[in-house]
Amino acid sequence: MASYVVMEPPAKTTGGKAGKGAGERAVLVRDGFRFLAFLLPALWLVFNRLWIETAVVIAMTMALSALGAVAGFGNVAPALVLLVSLYVGLEASALKLAALRRRGWREWGVVEADNADEAEIRYLAEALTGSDETPAPPPAATAGPAAPRSTSQPALGLLAYPGKS
């Protein structure tokens, strides 16, 4: 089974409410290796309107090719360009998701399915049943004693040492 990340459009493009119309315009992005993005990285990025990523890939390819020609590395430059293509093939889904997040889309969740049609059906079924319910109220705070506040300064590193001054 493949995993599909469901991205819903921003609320301003769906008439003000994220739930109404967002399901119709949601985008499902399959997580996994993209063979076409590996073979033709710049064209795949342009086709998916990933302009910044396209510019970076073209610049990296040109720089690596120039490095191979100027420094006389011969077979090393094509191998490095192949690594750039491999990176785009492996991270194509993440690049597409990052571009959608920059455009204001929000992540609804992940759906596991055998193909895109089944994933869309599962998403719509879950979105329709989940939209009628009201969210549960947050749990009440416990009436126990509050934890003592530490007056020590932050520790060097990742961990603080409570109670130490």
The number of CA neighbours under 13 Å toward the Cβ of 128 is 7
Q: Residue range 120-136: average pLDDT?
A: 74
Q: pTM to 2 decimals?
A: 0.68
In a domain, 156, yes or no: no
pLDDT higher than threshold 70 for residue 131: no
Average pLDDT in the chain? 81
In a domain, 25, yes or no: yes
CA dist., res. 163 & res. 165, Å (int): 7
Domain count, the chain: 1
Name the H helices within 10-75. 22-25, 35-39, 41-47, 51-71
Predicted pLDDT of residue 93? 93
Domain range spanning residue 103?
Answer: 2-131
In a domain, 157, yes or no: no
In a domain, 161, yes or no: no
In a domain, 118, yes or no: yes
In a domain, 142, yes or no: no
In a domain, 80, yes or no: yes
Helix (H, G, I), strand (E, B) or coil at 136: coil
